[in-house]
Every structure is written in structure tokens, then in C-alpha cells.
Amino acid sequence: MKPSNLLIAIAAGAASALLFVGLVVQSGSAVTLALAAPIPIFIASLGWGSVAGFLAAVVSAGLVAAISGLVSGGVLLFAAMSLPAAIAGHLAGLARPVAEDGPAERGPGPVGERPQLMWFPVERILFAIAAMAALACIGLGWYFGYDVAALKPEIVDTLRESGNAGQIDDAEFEAIATLLLSLIPLVQPAVLTLVLGLGLYLAAWLTRISDRLPRPKDDLPTALHLPPAALFVFAAGLAASFVSGPVEQIALVACGAFGMAFTLVGLGQLHARTRGRSNRGLLLFVSYAAIMILSFPLFVFTCLGIYDTIKRMRPASPA
């Protein structure tokens, strides 16, 4: 490994740790910065190689543990963001010659140019991100001892202190706490999938500006799909969510992660289908504004992403 790549990896790991450490020490204003923690890892992996990305992931976790004095903080960053970012960055850099069994096809240009390469498909990268988000949430839930019965009284006490206890009775606090706890296994992996997906996109954009990204630019609206396996995982999660106990929690985690992945595919379809329309800007603005204000339209794009996956599973009709 070149010394310059080593320095880049250490710097990326330190940047990621500094972005995330505020969340570990319970600084409420640091949540937004913590969501950007995977981006330096992505940049190191995309621009300076997979080894730099994995080294940056280890450095970031070690620094968080050292700064905060909490090993659990380093574990949280490593499992939830640093390692998935390093793996996704590695996958984005994988490529092979188009022709494997014969002379490699070459693109236009003088002889001696590198052969045309087939890069790791975007749909498989998105699948990997959703799977890693789900596994990270399940693993961290086990590591930190996620227990609904133990957490419910703490949430009720917090709601009492923050709310107007004179107007809301204990039964309503209990109902709100139950609702929040039921949403955590669904929302947490969905947010993590979104954070990792957007982080990879932003890191690729920044790395391409510096002319260090070897991968050509993907046309995301047309390339953003999911393989059929994602549909089977999502369907199995929905079916298992009706079973009570830990199985339900794990199933909801899978539904949250892959549900967000399908939502991203649906949004990609929106961008692809509105191309060439004179009112495209207005349609995109209204769609994203509705998502930000109401949240419910996300379900529409989730269904659109699922439909896209089912449609691609059908055999092509003969010409």
C-alpha cells in the first residue's frame, strides 16, 4: 500500500470518527453530522482502493472508541456505517473484462487502451446495502440487548418529562411508547439503508469531480433496480412479521431495509419516466415535497419499486 494511500485512509477514518463521535457522547445537534459519517469511508474506497476503505473503517471505529471511552461507540459506528461503507465501496469498484473467454473487447481509441469493463451492477450494490443495513440492525440489537419490555418504562418516563403530564394520562403515554417501540425495528434499518445509499451516491459524485473514480457514471434512473431475491426477502419478512417475539422484530428489520431499497427504485422510476416532459421539474418537486411533508407517498414509490422488480422477473416476450 502506497504511503499516500495510507495517509488518505487514516484521514478518512479520522473524518468519519469526528462526524460520528458527537452522537456517541449524546450531543443532540450531532445527529445530522453522524449521518454523513460513511461518506469519507466511501471516498477512500472509491478513489484510493478497497484496502484504503477497509483501513479507514477500522481507524474510524478505533478513534470513536478512544475519544468517547466507549467500546460500544466504536462497535456501533463500525457495524452500522464504516464496514458497510467499505464493503459497498469495494463492490462499486469491482469490474471484469466484457469478454472473459476470448480476446477482450476494446472500446474506441488507440490500441493499448484498457479493455471495456463490466462493472458490478448497481442493483446488486443496492441489494447488498439493504442486506448489510438489516444485518447491522439485527447484530446491534443483539449486542446492545434490545428489549421492548425493558425499554418501555424508560420511554414512558421520558415522555412524561418532555410532555404535558397534566393533560395526558398514563394510558396515553403507554400507547405512544408502544407505538414508538413497534416502529423502531422498521424505521431504523430503513433510515440506515437510505443513509448508506445517499452516502455512496454523494461520495461517487465527489470522487468523480476529483477525477479519481475509475467507474464510469451510471445512469441511475435506468440502472437502479433490485434482483428477484430482494422481493423474496421482503415477502418472507412480511409473512414472518405476524409471528410474535424476536422473529417479528427480525422480520420487521428486513421489511424496513428492503422496503426502503424498493422505495429508492421507485424514485428512480419517477426520474426515468418523467424524462423529456416539459413539467418534469414541477412533478419532481411536488413528489419530493409530498414525501417530506406527508411521508405517506413513500408507500406509493415502494409499490412502484416492487412492481418494477416483478415486471423484470417476467420472461421477455418473443419478438
pLDDT tier for residue 33 given thresholds of 50, 70 and 90: confident
How many Å separate Cα 272 from the centre of its chain? 21
Distance, CA of 57 to CA of 60 (rounded, Å): 5
Distance, CA of 173 to CA of 165 (rounded, Å): 9
Give the residue, 315 or 130, on which the prediction is more confident. 130
Chain segment 93-149, per-residue pLDDT in tens:
998 887 655 444 444 444 444 458 889 999 999 999 999 999 999 999 899 888 777
Distance, CA of 90 to CA of 84 (rounded, Å): 10
pLDDT of 28 over the 60 cut:
no
Euclidean distance between the first and the last CA atom of the chain, given in angstroms as a whole number? 52
Chain segment 244-269, per-residue pLDDT in tens:
888 999 999 999 999 999 999 999 99
pLDDT confidence of residue 319 = 45
Contact between residue 151 and residue 106 where contact means Cβ atoms under 8 Å apart = no
Distance, CA of 173 to CA of 153 (rounded, Å): 10
In this prediction the pTM is 0.88
Set of cell numbers at residue 280: 418534469
pLDDT of 189 over the 70 cut:
yes
* Residue 96 three-state SS: strand
Rg (CA), the chain: 22
Per domain, the residue ranges of the chain are 1-94
* Residue 119 three-state SS: strand
Give the residue among 259, 257, 263, 272 at the shortest CA–CA distance from 220.
Answer: 272
Neighbours of 7 (CB within 10 A): 12
Set of cell numbers at residue 299: 408507500
**Residue carrying C-alpha cell 449524546:** 26
C-alpha torsion sign, points 250, 84, 29, 144 = positive
DSSP 104: P
Most confident segment among 45-59, 152-166, 291-305 = 45-59
pLDDT confidence of residue 27 = 58
Q: What is the mean pLDDT of residues 41-58?
A: 95
pLDDT of 30 over the 90 cut:
no
Q: In what helix (H) or strand (E) does residue 186 lie, and over which residues does it extend? A: helix 170-209
Chain segment 263-288, per-residue pLDDT in tens:
999 999 999 999 988 899 999 999 99
pLDDT of 318 over the 70 cut:
no
